[in-house]
């Protein structure tokens, strides 16, 4: 029966969660395409063999496919699901008016941006709904994850430890912990934490990394102390009486902060200040969604969905061919030069992008497998 329990707690929430986010993303593409006069031939959640579907009045085939790891909108004239090959030359003149390949670069740009934008709007709506109906989310000073090789791991800090004070200063949120750590001037940082009802006092040196700042275009590097912990899917609610506009405003700020934090993390990986073992894939998402389902509640799952929605939108904006961001770069170049990029050049770029994405997926999956192995057998 263990396999059935794991199926319910890990596979089902993952499939539902990813399906919702993919639907939102592709719905953004679909709505802007329809508004722009482009015919959408197929709207699919998943890839591969169709499991279920129907055709609406406009001729769009809505379907659920066998491999639940993404989705796509296939436009009139597309030769495949990724819209990287074209059969538009075989269309009639009337059909070409509704084919994606024959639209202006500006329309193509809007359609490409609509998917990531939909993910961002969805995340804002989730946070705003939580803020308005339930209360303001706070990230308490509870250790969600310990960075491998970091100062906290070496000191013996464990996930689920609740930090009570840093250098004698009481902390009420994860932001307080970060602030007190950055203000630390002593040789060792003093941390008081609670674990299993017991109070533990630790004193240990911090690790410092170089963080690049860009103030008034004067790039400088600052050594920043790091405790080596993260707040992962641990949330508490502070009841506040917010109106709709305040909830939307605070939700927008929350989404911006998540984006900023994610970009900083990616930048630190690129320059080698943060380990690439932190890159995770679909197995990691399934693991985290399952853990939340088993150990926490619907609120934490909604917050996790919003976080994933922001990350899905942001990653798709990266200027990598095959991703929306790669298409955006191409259309911006075409708008600026007022000429279409050669099809052979585009084809070459898409092949490079495909190879890069496959490499990243393999690397992320390897990290996920190693993480699971360590979790089960370490």
How far is 294 from 261, CA to CA, in rounded Å? 27
CA-to-CA separations, 53 to 40, 42, 46, 77, 82, in angstroms, rounded? 15, 10, 12, 21, 19
Say how far apart CA 296 and CA 235 lie, in whole Å: 10
Task: Note the pTM of the prediction, 2 decimals.
Answer: 0.76
pLDDT at 213: 46
Q: Going by DSSP bridges, is the β-strand pair 169-170/162-166 parallel, antiparallel, or unpaired?
A: antiparallel
Q: What is the pLDDT confidence band of residue 316, given thresholds at 50, 70 and 90?
A: very high
First-to-last alpha carbon distance for the chain, in angstroms, is 24
Please give the torsion angle defined by the CA atoms of residues 87, 89, 93 and 96, in that order, rounded to the nearest 10 degrees: 40
H or E stretch at 212: strand 207-215
Q: CA 342, 344, 346, 348: dihedral to nearest 10 degrees?
A: -150
User: Is 273 considered catalytic here?
Assistant: no
Residue 45: exposure state from Cβ atoms within 10 A (0-12, 13-18, ≥19):
buried
Portion of the chain with pLDDT greater than 70, in percent? 85
Question: Does 359 score more than 80 pLDDT?
Answer: yes
Confidence of residue 139 (pLDDT cuts 50, 70, 90): confident
pLDDT at 297 over 80: no
The catalytically annotated residue of 26, 180, 192, 254 is: 26
pLDDT at 84: 61
Domain ranges of the chain: 2-133+317-377, 136-277+286-310
Backbone angles phi, psi at 228, to 5 degrees: 90, 35
Return the pLDDT at 274.
Answer: 63
* Helices vs. strands in the chain: H and E counts, helices first: 11, 12
| C-alpha to C-alpha distances, 151 to 103, 129, 156, nearest whole angstrom | 54, 37, 9
Calpha distance 138→143 (Å, rounded): 14
Per the prediction, the chain carries an average pLDDT of 83
Q: How far apart are CA 163 and CA 305, in angstroms?
A: 26
> 39-53: per-residue pLDDT in tens?
999 999 998 899 999
Question: How far apart, in whole angstroms, are the C-alpha atoms of residue 343 and residue 364?
Answer: 31
The three-class DSSP label of residue 234 is coil
Q: Which two tokens stand for residue 2?
A: 């263990």
pLDDT in tens, 268-277: 777 766 666 6
Percent of the chain predicted with pLDDT > 90: 33
Angle at 162 between CA 160 and CA 168, to 5 degrees: 155
Higher pLDDT, 315 or 282: 315
Task: Give the total residue count for the chain.
Answer: 378
Q: Give the integer Cα–Cα distance in Å for 14 and 344.
A: 38
Q: Retrieve residue 263's tokens.
A: 């970009």
What's the confidence (pLDDT) of residue 73? 92
pLDDT, tens only, 189-238: 889 999 988 999 998 888 776 555 444 444 444 556 778 887 655 666 66
Q: Can you give the pLDDT at residue 171?
A: 85
Query: Average pLDDT of 313-337?
Result: 91
**Mean pLDDT, residues 319-333 taken together:** 91
Give the pLDDT confidence of 255-266 residue by residue, as tens digits: 998 888 788 777
* CA dist., res. 23 & res. 9, Å (int): 22
Tokens matching residue 322: 């095959």
pLDDT at 142 over 80: yes
Confidence band of 145 (pLDDT split at 50, 70, 90)? confident
Neighbouring CB atoms inside 10 A of 149's CB total 11
Q: What is the pLDDT of residue 218?
A: 42
Residue 233 has a pLDDT of: 57
CATH 2.30.42.10 fits 136-277+286-310, yes or no: yes
């Amino acid at each position: 029966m263990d396999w059935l329990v794991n199926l319910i707690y890990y596979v089902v929430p993952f499939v539902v969660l990813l399906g919702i986010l993919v639907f939102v993303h592709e719905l953004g593409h679909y709505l802007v395409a329809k508004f722009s006069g482009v015919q959408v031939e197929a709207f699919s959640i998943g890839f591969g063999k169709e499991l279920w579907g129907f055709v609406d009045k406009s001729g769009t085939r809505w379907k659920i496919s066998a491999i639940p790891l993404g989705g796509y909108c296939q436009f009139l004239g597309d030769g495949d699901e990724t819209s990287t090959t074209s059969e538009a030359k075989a269309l009639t003149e009337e059909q070409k008016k509704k084919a994606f390949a024959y639209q202006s670069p500006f329309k193509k740009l809007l359609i490409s941006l609509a998917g990531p934008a939909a993910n961002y709007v969805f995340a804002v709506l989730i946070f705003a709904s939580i803020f308005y109906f339930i209360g303001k989310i706070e990230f308490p000073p509870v250790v969600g994850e310990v960075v491998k090789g970091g100062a906290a791991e070496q000191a013996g800090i464990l996930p689920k430890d609740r930090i009570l004070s840093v250098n004698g200063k009481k902390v009420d949120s994860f932001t307080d912990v970060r602030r007190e750590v950055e203000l630390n001037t002593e040789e060792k940082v003093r941390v008081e934490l609670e674990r299993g009802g017991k109070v533990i006092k630790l004193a240990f040196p911090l690790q410092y990394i170089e963080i690049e700042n860009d103030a008034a275009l004067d790039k400088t590097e600052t050594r920043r102390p790091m405790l080596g912990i993260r707040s992962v899917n641990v949330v508490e609610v502070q009841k506040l009486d917010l109106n709709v506009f305040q909830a939307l405003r605070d939700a927008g700020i929350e989404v911006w902060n998540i984006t900023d934090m994610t970009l900083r993390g990616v930048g630190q990986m690129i320059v080698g200040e943060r380990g690439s073992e932190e890159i995770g894939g679909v197995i990691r998402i399934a693991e985290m969604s399952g853990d939340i389902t088993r150990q926490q509640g619907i609120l934490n799952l909604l917050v996790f969905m919003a976080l994933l929605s922001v990350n899905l939108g942001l990653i798709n904006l990266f200027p990598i061919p095959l991703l929306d961001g790669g298409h955006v770069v191409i259309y911006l170049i075409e708008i600026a030069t007022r000429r279409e990029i050669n099809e052979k050049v585009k084809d070459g770029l898409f092949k490079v992008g495909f190879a890069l994405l496959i490499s990243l997926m393999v690397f992320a999956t390897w990290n996920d497998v190693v993480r699971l192995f360590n979790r089960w057998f370490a």
